[in-house]
Amino acid sequence: MKNIVILFVFILAFTSCKEEDKAPESQKIVEPEPEIRFGYKIDDYKVIQDTIKSGESFGIILDRHHVFYPKINQIAATVKETFDVRKVRAGKPYTILASKDSTEKAQVFIYKHDKINATIVDFKDSVIVAKKYKKPIKLVEKVASGVVNSNFTISMDSLGLRPNLTYKVADIYAWTLDFLRLQKGDSFKIVYEEKFIDDSTFAGYGNVKSAVFKHKGKDLYAFRFLADSTLNIHEYYDDEANMLRSQFLKAPIKFQYRISSRYNLRRRIAYYGNKIRPHRGTDFAAKIGTPIIATASGTVTESTRRGGNGKYVKIKHNSTYSTQYLHMSKQAVKKGQYVKQGDVIGYVGMTGNTGGPHVCYRFWKYGKQVDPLREKLPAAEPMKKNVKPSFFEYIKPLKYQLDYERIEVPEPQEVKEIIAQK
């Protein structure tokens, strides 16, 4: 009997051990994955996050974290080609990875240019290294559509979209659509990208992939497409493969302006006692300080102040065309400088003979001033014929996406018929 009891106890103990071995997976201890940030195992360091304050320099920050000035000077000299330590700016966030021992000495300095881009300066070893870092970006396709009731900016704001996207769309249509002449009831649809870091942190907008405006009963399409792989520049084309970009923009101001006076050789000017004085420019009225942009690429031939013109800039675009921008509060470019279409060249002011803040935009063709609003201006380089078939194939799903469940604005007659049916 005694032997049977001992055997029973042994069996129980053995069975208990087996049951422990068969413990559910959920009860097993799993070692957490090490946290990696900026390519470093964060647990190995003391992490210090701060923002550069006014008057602080790279040297002052490292000195505060126990790096001596001979070493700081060595770091600055070694990394100057990649990172100019003199250009750190107040308000920019930074991270320091310091040793976890009692000295807490800085070993890595990470300067954050924006939410996505940073520069890492690693000086923990004898070899000092500076490298650019870019956080992984997740692109998410989004679609926005709306109807213009007041103006395009307000319509975009009402959809919760930020000004950066509004400007992107305005740039795409700058040659083909006057946003100040949009009519109440015009509609639009935009397919665009939003950028996210860490899966959930919004980091700005990516490309506008396609768009359409219904304006005055016409559909104005825009499709982003790489027509010439050798140039590696994406352009926007309409649904017939015509490039939206022209050689000249319609206006030297992007938003918030009105045409206060047109080109008129027999205009009576109040400033000169209501006498007939030829007005060889187009006046775009806007608030003082509004940026003035180059309507086409070219070389600045004049950036000065003279008589009734006030402060002005003149640009030579080629042997045929030149443009001039008068009455600036200040210029942003110098003589001899090359500017690209859309670059800011100055700001609206009231210098010279002017009764209110505006930019007088003058346009030369073969040395003679002409009215740019009446000129048939040259278009940009057209798409090559052999590329068009692939373009039309490419835009098929994009056009379907824009046309599918489009916001259709009924014409007045259609509205009457709907009411009658009710």
**Position 170, amino acid:** A
Which candidate, 81, 82, 75, places its Cα nearest to that of 96? Answer: 75
258-370 is a CATH 3.40.50.300 domain:
no
For 209-237, what is the mean pLDDT?
Answer: 90
pLDDT at position 239 over 80: yes
Return the CATH number of the domain spanning residue range 38-134: 3.10.450.350
Mean pLDDT for 192-214 is 92
pLDDT single digits (tens) 110-164: 999 998 999 999 999 889 999 999 988 999 999 999 999 888 989 999 999 999 9
Mean pLDDT score of the chain, rounded to an integer?
85
Q: What's the pLDDT tens digit per position in 326-340?
A: 999 999 999 999 888
Burial of 188 (0-12, 13-18, 19+ CB in 10 A): buried
- pLDDT > 70 in the chain, percent: 84
Q: What is the pLDDT of residues 336-381, one digit of tens each?
A: 998 888 899 999 999 998 888 999 999 988 888 888 877 777 767 7
**Residue 84: predicted pLDDT:** 94
How confident is residue 415, by pLDDT bands cut at 50, 70 and 90?
very low
Residue 322: pLDDT over 60: yes
Whole-number pLDDT of residue 413: 43
Q: Looking at the predicted structure, is the pLDDT value of residue 91 above 50? A: yes
Average pLDDT over residues 181-200: 90
CA-atom Rg of the chain in angstroms = 32
Query: The domain 138-237: what is its CATH number?
Result: 3.10.450.350
User: What's the rounded Cα separation, in Å, for the pair 315 and 51?
Assistant: 42
Amino acid at 285: A
pLDDT exceeds 60 at position 410: no
**φ and ψ of 398, to 5 deg:** -70, -40
The per-residue DSSP string of 299-357 comes to EEEEEEEEGGGEEEEEEE-SSSEEEEEEEEEEES--TT-EE-TT-EEEEEB--SS-SSS
Which residue from 328, 333, 335 is spatially nearest to 344, judged by alpha carbons? 333
As a whole number of angstroms, the distance between CA 253 and CA 295 comes to 9
Q: Domain residues of the chain, as ranges?
A: 38-134, 138-237, 258-370
Judge if 38-134 and 258-370 fold alike in CATH terms: no
Give 162-171 pLDDT, tens digit per residue. 999 998 998 8
